[in-house]
Structure 1
C-alpha cells in the first residue's frame, strides 16, 4: 500500500534533539493528543520518544534517507549538542557532545572522546564513518553521561546504531547513487524467512568518492574514499520465550592521500616572542609572532606523497630553498616522503543479542556479546609540507612521516537480568567485561608491512557491575536510580616506568519524570560521568608525565517533551532541555617534540570547567503537504581554573614555564610590545573543538499523485549552521563558521524513489578542523641555530594544519523496494 504523504513528510523531518515523530495519523486525526509513535531504546528498554526522560535525538530509516545521512558528520548537522570533526580522514573521529572534547581522541592510544559508539547496544571502538547507512533502522544520539547503562567512554553521551534484521516476508532493496567528483554508490539487500522461526538479511554496499583537491607537489587528486562492505543478520526465535540475533559484517576501506594543508608559522600574527621564526637564523623571516589569531583559511595541499611532478621544489614560507641545514642532503627532496599514504582498513565485526523470558513471570535475561578484528594502515606526511629529508637514508623513513600499522581486537560480553516491567517497583542488574588488544608498528620503505619494528602490545580491560531500580510513586510520577561500578586497566609495553595503570569509579544517575496528560513528559536528571585515564608511554615519560587521570563530571539536566496545543497551524512537537555540568581533571593535550619521527602529543589534566547549555527542537507538519522542523543548541563550555605551559610561553614573549607550583616562569614581555601579561591561566577560556551555536531548519513539500506513473512528487531543503570552533585552549586560532545548504527533490511510490540531490550547494569552504602543530624543519637547534636566550623556549615555531571541507556535491539516486 502506498505510503501516505503525511507519513513520508513527517518521517522526513528527522530533525534531532529529542523528538523524531513518525506520524501515522491522517490530517483528519489531528485531534489525537499524542502523536509520538517512534520507539527508542535509549534507556536499554523500548519507550516512546516523547515518553523517554532522556535527551535523545532519534533518526528513523525514512529520516536517514530524506536528510541524506551518510555518516556521523551528517548526523551531527541535525543533532543539537553534537559536533563532529575528522582530523585525519575516516580513521580518526572526534565526536563532541555538549562541549566535552578531547583534541587527542583517536590519535593517542587510550585517549577517549567521551562519546562512545554502539551497534545494536554493543560497544564499538573503531571508526564508524564506513558503516552502511542503508543497513540502519534507526540512529539514537543520547546526550549527557550514560556510564550507568552504556558503560565506558559515555562520559558525554552515546551514539547507538540500530541495524535492520530479518523479515517475515521476502523483501529486497537496491540503491544506485551517482554524483560529483566521481561519487558512486551501489547497495542491495534481501531479507526474509529461512526456516520456521529463523529469518535473515544479507546486504552489500560499494561506495567510492574520487576526491576533489589537488596535491601541488605531485599534481595528483587527493581525498579519495572507497568502501566495500557486506553484512549478514540471522534472527532466530525457536520458542516463544527465547530469541537471538547474530550480525556479522566485513568492511574494506581504501582511502587516498588525506586533504590536509599547512598554514606556515610565517603567517602568525599575534603573541610576539622568542618562539617565532624570526629567531631561527636559516628561516629568512623577520616575523616575531608566536601564534595565529583568527580564522584559519583553507590552504593548498602540498605534501610529499610521491615524487615531485615537475622536479621543481614547492617552497613554503619560512623554509627558504637556499637555506642549508646540517645533516640534510636537501631540505626539499623531490622523492617520495612517505612509505604509505592514506588509509587501508579491513574490519570484521560480529555481534550477538539474546533474550530469554522466564515463562509468564515477566523476568528476562539478556546476553550481549561483541567481537571485532581490525587491520589498519594509515600514513600521511605529518609536516604537511613539501619539506622532505631523511635521517637514516631514503630506504628507511623520512623525518615527519607518520606511517603506522595497527592490529586491533576487541571482545565484550554483557549479561542483564530484568524484573517484570509491568510492576510498580522494577529493576535490572547486569555485569560487563571488555577487552582490547592492540599491536602497532612503524611502516618504512625498508619495512612496508610495518611489522619489523613492532612497538609492542597495548591493552584495555574494563569490568563493571551495573543496575537500576525504578519506582512509580503515582501513575504519572516515576523515579529511576541507575549506577555502575567499573574498573579499568590499561597496559603499554612501550612504557618502562609505568607500563600499567588502573582506575575505578562508581557513576550514579537519578532521573525523576512526570507524565503529562497530553502524552509528553517533564524530567530532571542528576548524573556523574567519567572519562578513562591512561598512559602517555615513552613520550610522556621523557617529560615527566607518564600517565593522565580520569576526567570526571557532575551533571544536572531539566527537560520537557510535549505535543503543542492545536493553534490552527498543524501538529508540532516541542522538546526543550537545559543542563549544567562541572568537570574536573579535564583532559587536554600538550605537544612534545620527539628526537626522531613525527611530533607527538601527550594527554594532561589541566584544571576544571563549567558547561551550560540549552537544546531546542520543534518539528511537525502544517498540513498534508508541508512538514518541517527547527533545532538549536547553545553550548557555553568554559574553564574555571587551569594552568597550561604553552599558555605561559605564548603570553610571556616566549619565556620558559619553570614552576607549576607557583605558576610562573621566565618573562620577556617587556621586550615584545603587544605581548602579555604573562600567565599560564586558562580560566575563562572556551573548551576547544566546541561550537557555541548550532542550528538547523528543514522543510519538505509532498504532492500526492503529482508525478509520472502514479508517483508522488516531493521537494525538500535543509540549512544547517555551526559557529566557529577554537583549535586550542588559547582561544586564538579557530575554524570559522559553517553554513551548509542541501536540497533534494524527486518522485516516489511505495516501490521506488528517483531523486536529485545537492549538498553544500553554496560552497561553504570553512575548514572542518585545524590542529596546532610545529613548523619544520625548526624542531631542534641542531638543525638550525636559534638565537633566542637559553632561558627562552627554543621549541619549533607554531604552525597549523587543517582539513579541507568537501565543496558542492550534486547527483541523482534511484532506490527500489520489492
Structure 2
C-alpha cells in the first residue's frame, strides 16, 4: 500500500513537471518569471536552490534574521521534516530528520541520531546549540541519507552551518539584544583586508549571551534553566590567485548553564495498564521471599501512563532545601525520621553545564589549469564538559555513600573530548558532460569519562572509562548528462569504523558498510528541477559497555535503510513564488531502540538494541516568495508516517501482561498475570503498527512580512513580520502511550531598518504554548514504605522486579519579549 502511494505521488510530480513549461508563453517569459534563489553547497558544489536535485531547506542571512533563528530548535520549526528536542539542555543533541530517531542518542556514548552537523563542510560531533548565530551566512538542512558525500552519521540527513568569512573592504557590525527573564546578548563582528599579504582578509567575532531562567525550583526556591555563553572566533580567508583559496577558522566557547528545568510526573499519575509494576502492587523484603506484603497506602494499580504529559513543578534537590521542610512525592516517602540517609543538604555534586571548547577548521581548494579541482578539509576539537542533574528528578535526597560522596541517583560527570578529521577530494571540470569526484576521509575521537562527586567536584581524580571512535572511508561520484536536461548521478562510499569502550569486556567493535546513491534529474525550462533518488543509509553500531555485556547484549548493530524519493522544484509562474515538494519512502531494518535494564540495586539503566524493522512514508512541501513590493511570505508542511513492521520489546510485555517478564523473545512469550488484573492484556511484546518515538506526524509553518520604504525616522524602512509554527505530539517510547502534546508557537517582530542600523522589538511564543519539549519514561525512586528500606521488587518472583514507572519532562520557555539594535559601520 505504501509503495503504491509513493508511485502515485511520483506520477503526480511527473505530471506537474510536464505541465509547468506547457503553460508558459515561451522560454524567455519563463526566464523572467524565475525568482532569485539561494546558492547552496548541499552537493559539495555551488548550485541554485531550485537546481539541486536534492531535498534541502536553506536559510540565508536575511531569513535567519527575519525568522529570529537563534538555535537549531528555531531552525527545525521552519524546516519541513526536521524535529529537534532540547530535552537535556545544551549538552545533548537529538535532531530527528524524517522520523529516524533514537531515544538514547546523545545520552549513551556512541548512540547517534543519524543526523550529523557540519560547519563549513567539516564534520562536527559536539553540541551545536552554543553556535553564535551572528557568525552565520547560511544554514542548509539536507534531508535523506547523505553517506556518500558527507560521511558518518548522515543516515537521515545533514545540517551544514556556513560561517561568514573575511571582507575585501572594512566592515563592522554590532548587536545589542535585551529581553525578559534576564535575556542579554551583545555581539561584535569586524572584518576587512589584512595588510602586507595579497588576497588575505579576516573576521573577528565576539558574542556574550545570558538568560536567567524562568522556572522556580520548589526545593531550593531558585530559578533553573539559566544559560550563559562567551564565544570568540576568528576567520582568515586567503585567495592569492583566482585558482586557490583557503580558510582558517578558530573558535573558542565557554558555556555555564544552571540546573535543567526538569519535572517528575510520579507513578501516582499512572492511568493505564494495571499490573504488578505499580504503586499498589505487592513488594518484596529481602529474607521474606514469597511472602506478600500489601501496600494499603497506595491504591493506584496502573503500571503506565497513557495520554499527554502535562507540565509540572520543578522540585529537585540541587542545593540546600530552602525552607528546611522535607519534600515528599506520592509513593516514594511518607516521612524522614525513620530514614537516616535522607538529608536536606545539596543532593548533587554538580548541576547544569560547564563547558570549554576550542574548535579549529581548515578548508582549501586549488583549481588546476585544466579545470580539475583538489579540495582539502580538516577539523579539530578539544572540549572539557562537566554536566550534572538530579537523575531521580525528585526532591528526595537519599545518600548511600555518605555526604562527601555521590548520592543515590545523581547523574554527574565530566567528559574530556578530543577529535579531528581530514578529507581530501579531487573533482573533474564541472562543465564536462561526464563529471566525477573521488575522495578519502578519516575521523578519530577520544573521550575520557570521569565521575563528579562531593569529594572530587571537578571529576579530575575519578576516571570511569575511556571511549573512542575511528572512521576511515573512500567515496566517489560520477555524474553524466544524458541530454542537455537529463542527468544521472551515481555516488558511493565505503567506510570502516571501530568503536572502543574500556568498560566493555569486548574492548572494541568493528563495523563496515557500503552506501550507494543514485539520482536522476531533469532540468525544466523555467529553471526548476524534477528528480528521483534511490539511496541506502547506515546508522553506526556500537558497544553497550558493562551494563549491556552483563545481560548478553555487549553490542548493537548498524541500522540500515533503503530510501526512495521523488521531488519537484519550480518557480510558480507569474506569482513571484518558488515551490518545492518531495515524497519519500524508507524501509529500515535493525532499527536501534532502547531496552531497559534493571540493576541489582533496583536502579534502572538502558542499552541500545536492534529490536525491529519499520517503514516511513512522507511528504514535504515548501512555498515562499513575494506577493508584491510590500508583502512577502511563505509556508511549509511535512507529513511523516512512521510504522514498525515488526519488533519485540521486553517492556511492552511487562506493561501488557500485568507485570510479567518476557522469557522468550523469539516466540514472544513469558509470564502472564493478566487474569489477576482486570483491564490488562492481551499480553504481547509486539510493537508492530506502532509509530517511531520522538517523531511528529505533522509539522507546519507560515511566515508573513510587510515592508514599507522610507516610512520611519531618518528615512528608514518600516517592517513587520509574524510567524506561526505547529508540530504534532511525539510519543515518548515505542509503546505509543505517553506523549508530549501538540505545540503551536506564534512569533512576531517589527521595527525600522536603515543602511546603518536596524531597531526592532520581538516576541516569541506569544501565546504561551506550554506543552512539554520532551518527556522520557523513568522510574519511581526511591521506593520506601513503613520505615522499611525495601528494594522496589514485586511478588511473585516471575513478575518485573523494577520500580513503578514514572516520567520526567522538560519545560518549554514561556513568552519571550525584547528589543534589538543592530549597527553597521
Give TM class, smaller chain: over 0.9
Displacement of 1:33 in angstroms is 2.8
In 1: Cα distance, 2:52 partner to 2:783 partner? 55
Match of residue 525 from structure 1: 533
Greater alpha carbon shift after TM alignment, 791-800 vs 451-460: 451-460
Structure 2 residue aligned with 1:347, among 344, 351, 357?
357
Judged with a 3 Å threshold, the aligned counterparts in structure 2 of structure 1 residues 652 and 689 are, in CA distance, closer, same or farther, namely same
Match of residue 439 from structure 2: 430
Mapped pair 1:308 → 2:326: no
Match of residue 203 from structure 2: 201
Structure 2 residue aligned with 1:665, among 670, 673, 696?
670
Structure 2 contact 583–619 (Cα < 8 Å) conserved: yes
In 2: Cα distance, 1:275 partner to 1:572 partner? 56
Judged with a 3 Å threshold, the aligned counterparts in structure 2 of structure 1 residues 637 and 283 are, in CA distance, closer, same or farther, namely farther
Structure 1 residue aligned with 2:512, among 501, 504, 510?
504
Structure 2 residue aligned with 1:335, among 342, 345, 356?
345
Displacement of 1:457 in angstroms is 1.2
**SS of equivalent to 1:607:** strand
Judged with a 3 Å threshold, the aligned counterparts in structure 2 of structure 1 residues 283 and 588 are, in CA distance, closer, same or farther, namely farther
Alignment of 1:473-492 (within 5 A): 473-492=482-501
Deviations 1:308-360 (A, max 9, x none): 000001211112323787xx5144x211100000000000000000101112x
Structure 1 residue aligned with 2:395, among 377, 383, 386?
386
In 1: Cα distance, 2:587 partner to 2:792 partner? 46
In 1: Cα distance, 2:380 partner to 2:771 partner? 38
Judged with a 3 Å threshold, the aligned counterparts in structure 2 of structure 1 residues 418 and 546 are, in CA distance, closer, same or farther, namely same
In 1: Cα distance, 2:783 partner to 2:365 partner? 60
Deviations 1:29-56 (A, max 9, x none): 9971321331000001110000000000
Structure 1 residue aligned with 2:548, among 540, 551, 556?
540
Structure 1 contact 205–228 (Cα < 8 Å) conserved: yes
In 1: Cα distance, 2:240 partner to 2:60 partner? 29
Match of residue 47 from structure 1: 47
In 2: Cα distance, 1:782 partner to 1:372 partner? 47
Structure 2 contact 215–261 (Cα < 8 Å) conserved: yes
Mapped pair 1:322 → 2:335: yes
Mapped pair 1:804 → 2:811: yes
In 2: Cα distance, 1:352 partner to 1:71 partner? 24
Alignment of 1:559-570 (within 5 A): 559-566=567-574, 570=575
Deviations 1:372-422 (A, max 9, x none): 011000000000001111111110010000000000011100000001111
Match of residue 419 from structure 1: 428
Greater alpha carbon shift after TM alignment, 35-44 vs 52-61: 35-44
**SS of equivalent to 1:62:** helix
Displacement of 1:784 in angstroms is 4.1
Displacement of 1:109 in angstroms is 0.5
Structure 1 residue aligned with 2:632, among 621, 627, 633?
627
TM-score, with length taken from structure 2: 0.93
In 2: Cα distance, 1:713 partner to 1:482 partner? 48
Structure 2 contact 710–718 (Cα < 8 Å) conserved: yes
Structure 1 contact 409–438 (Cα < 8 Å) conserved: yes
Mapped pair 1:689 → 2:697: no
Displacement of 1:449 in angstroms is 1.9
Match of residue 797 from structure 2: 790
Displacement of 1:453 in angstroms is 2.2
Match of residue 255 from structure 2: 253
Structure 2 contact 327–395 (Cα < 8 Å) conserved: yes
Match of residue 4 from structure 1: none
Deviations 1:64-121 (A, max 9, x none): 1111000000000000100001211000011000000000000100000100000000
Displacement of 1:600 in angstroms is 2.4
In 1: Cα distance, 2:469 partner to 2:44 partner? 25
Displacement of 1:751 in angstroms is 1.4
Displacement of 1:727 in angstroms is 0.2
Match of residue 594 from structure 1: 599
Judged with a 3 Å threshold, the aligned counterparts in structure 2 of structure 1 residues 499 and 782 are, in CA distance, closer, same or farther, namely farther
Match of residue 16 from structure 2: none
Displacement of 1:792 in angstroms is 0.7
Structure 2 contact 732–740 (Cα < 8 Å) conserved: yes
Displacement of 1:779 in angstroms is 9.9
Match of residue 763 from structure 2: 758
In 2: Cα distance, 1:532 partner to 1:31 partner? 45
Greater alpha carbon shift after TM alignment, 404-413 vs 240-249: 240-249
Match of residue 585 from structure 1: 590
Mapped pair 1:297 → 2:306: no
Mapped pair 1:244 → 2:249: no
Unpaired stretches in structure 1, ≥5 consecutive residues: 1-28
**SS of equivalent to 1:147:** coil
**SS of equivalent to 1:169:** coil
In 2: Cα distance, 1:125 partner to 1:597 partner? 34
Match of residue 20 from structure 1: none
Deviations 1:530-581 (A, max 9, x none): 0000000011112111110000000000000000122xxx311111100000
In 1: Cα distance, 2:808 partner to 2:174 partner? 40
Structure 2 contact 30–525 (Cα < 8 Å) conserved: no
Match of residue 411 from structure 2: 402
Match of residue 356 from structure 1: 366
Structure 2 contact 626–633 (Cα < 8 Å) conserved: yes
Structure 1 contact 648–678 (Cα < 8 Å) conserved: yes
Displacement of 1:597 in angstroms is 10
In 2: Cα distance, 1:248 partner to 1:760 partner? 34
Displacement of 1:671 in angstroms is 1.1
Match of residue 100 from structure 2: 100
Displacement of 1:456 in angstroms is 2.0
In 2: Cα distance, 1:729 partner to 1:720 partner? 26
**SS of equivalent to 2:148:** helix
Match of residue 646 from structure 1: 651
In 2: Cα distance, 1:495 partner to 1:418 partner? 42
Structure 1 contact 184–207 (Cα < 8 Å) conserved: yes
Displacement of 1:242 in angstroms is 1.5
Structure 2 contact 576–625 (Cα < 8 Å) conserved: yes
**SS of equivalent to 2:453:** coil
Alignment of 1:140-219 (within 5 A): 140-195=140-195, 196-219=198-221
Alignment of 1:693-704 (within 5 A): 693-704=698-709
In 2: Cα distance, 1:632 partner to 1:661 partner? 40
Structure 2 residue aligned with 1:716, among 712, 721, 724?
721
In 1: Cα distance, 2:158 partner to 2:534 partner? 17
In 1: Cα distance, 2:750 partner to 2:577 partner? 24
Match of residue 26 from structure 1: none
Structure 2 contact 794–800 (Cα < 8 Å) conserved: no
Judged with a 3 Å threshold, the aligned counterparts in structure 2 of structure 1 residues 597 and 202 are, in CA distance, closer, same or farther, namely farther
In 1: Cα distance, 2:529 partner to 2:402 partner? 67
TM-score, with length taken from structure 1: 0.94
Structure 1 contact 284–319 (Cα < 8 Å) conserved: no
Deviations 1:172-194 (A, max 9, x none): 10000000100000000000000
Structure 1 contact 437–459 (Cα < 8 Å) conserved: yes
Judged with a 3 Å threshold, the aligned counterparts in structure 2 of structure 1 residues 30 and 483 are, in CA distance, closer, same or farther, namely closer
Deviations 1:594-625 (A, max 9, x none): 34697421101111000000000111111000
**SS of equivalent to 2:149:** helix
Alignment of 1:116-135 (within 5 A): 116-135=116-135
Mapped pair 1:817 → 2:819: no
Displacement of 1:750 in angstroms is 1.7
Q: How many residues align?
A: 782
